[in-house]
Every structure is written in structure tokens, then in C-alpha cells.
Amino acid sequence: MQVTIITPTIGRPSLQRLIESIDKQTESGMTMHLLLWDQHRDSNARTPESYNSERRQSIVLPAGTGRNGDAPGSPLRAIGLMCARTPWVTFADDDVSWHAEHLALLRVAMAAKHWASTLRTVWSPTGERLGVDRFESVGDDPTRRVPYEMIDNNCMIFERKLGVAAAWLYRETTQYNDDRLMYEFLKKSAGPRGRTGSATVHQICPERLIGMFRSHCSAA
């Protein structure tokens, strides 16, 4: 499978965990990992160019590029969508990592479809497992634990041409809602969604959201 992975980043330490999990994928094929930066950096961040390799490239944008109103990282995701050259595109924030079978299971889920999604396991910053997200990574699944529909950016994969068509949604939004906009676009434009049915993404939630995830996540 040929897929571009888009990561807006400030170079926090967990970025290395993501990179290692990408490198350990069992799915054969080509991955291109784009790291998108502006001037904001974690205090212990490595230089962007130090991450470059044959299959990983840092793109440093002008100061302020990474935020539009209350949409952190959203304009950077738009740039990544326009830069992608592979048939498939996915997002991976620098606070996530992947199960070794993540791409393999997504490939199966995408068979004869234009997009697919997976589930995520949510962790606290101190390493407490909060559970499997069955409310903000399930879309319109009838078992969802909330009345609204959405899929987190990190849980979706889609054809590049769909990402190009939707890039303006990421560039123009000023709200913390780009994943909701993308989900709505894909549900309307991309046809039936494939589903892995497994939690193949691990994500560290911010301290302020621990209570919400602890209340809403499922044990399995």
C-alpha cells in the first residue's frame, strides 16, 4: 500500500514513538511521512531536518502557519494534503502511535472503498489506559456512545483525490473542528466507509480531557 502520513508537529518527545511505530508496520509498500512545522517548538525538540530520510521529510512553514483562529495544526494539514503524491493519505498527530498491524488492517478495510476508519485507544499523559474510543472515532456506527457523529483525524484514511478536494476545509476553518468537517465531507462524497473494527491507534489525550475520555471510553 502506498500512503502519505501527515503529521503537524512541534517536535514533542512522543513524535519519536510515532516514527518508531510507523517503521514497525507489517504492511508492505511505500509510506511517505510528511512532518509539518511552523515556528512553534517543544522545548526539547530536535531540529526539523534531523528527521529527514528517504521516506520522511520535514516541511518548515512561515511563523503562524500552523494556526488559524482556534484551529491548531489545521492549515498545516491542508498543506500536507496538497503535497501528498501517494494514492492514499492519512493523518498521525505527534501524540499518537500505531499498532504494528494498523496499516495492514486498514488495507483490508479499504477493499473496493474510497475511505476507511479505525478505532483508537486513549491514554493519559501518565500512561493510564482510559479505554477504547467508541464515541469520537466511530462516525455513524449505531453503537456509538454519543448522539453526534465524528471521526478523529487520526482514525481516517482516504484517497488522495478526496484529500485534495477537502484541503480547503482544513485551510479555512477557524474552529477546532477540522476532523468533523472532513468526516462530513467523506460521508457525503466518498461512498461506503470501510471499518477495521479494531483499536489500532494509541493516542495520549491532553490533561484537560482525561475526565471526558474516562467517562466515555469503553473497556474494550
Q: Which residues contact 50 (CB under 8 A, 6 or more apart)?
A: none
Domain 3-216: CATH class, spelled out? alpha beta
By DSSP bridging, strand 56-60 and strand 67-68 are unpaired
* CB 161 within 8 Å of CB 88: no
pLDDT range class, residue 1, cuts 50, 70, 90: confident
Taking residues 93-99, what's their average pLDDT?
98
Find residue 133's DSSP bridge partners: 120
Q: How many Å apart are CA 4 and CA 155, to the nearest integer?
A: 14
| Residue type, position 122, single letter | V
Q: Which residues contact 181 (CB under 8 A, 6 or more apart)?
A: 166, 169, 170, 173
Mean pLDDT for the chain overall = 96
Task: Write out pLDDT tens, residues 107-144.
Answer: 999 999 999 999 999 999 999 999 999 999 999 999 89
Taking residues 57-68, what's their average pLDDT?
97
Task: Write out pLDDT tens, residues 10-21.
Answer: 999 999 999 999
Q: How many Å apart are CA 92 and CA 179, to the nearest integer?
A: 12
Please check the confidence at residue 88 and state whether its pLDDT lies above 90.
Answer: yes
Please check the confidence at residue 219 and state whether its pLDDT lies above 90.
Answer: yes
pLDDT value of position 171: 98
Question: Percentage of the chain with pLDDT > 70?
Answer: 100
Please check the confidence at residue 29 and state whether its pLDDT lies above 90.
Answer: no
pLDDT value of position 130: 97
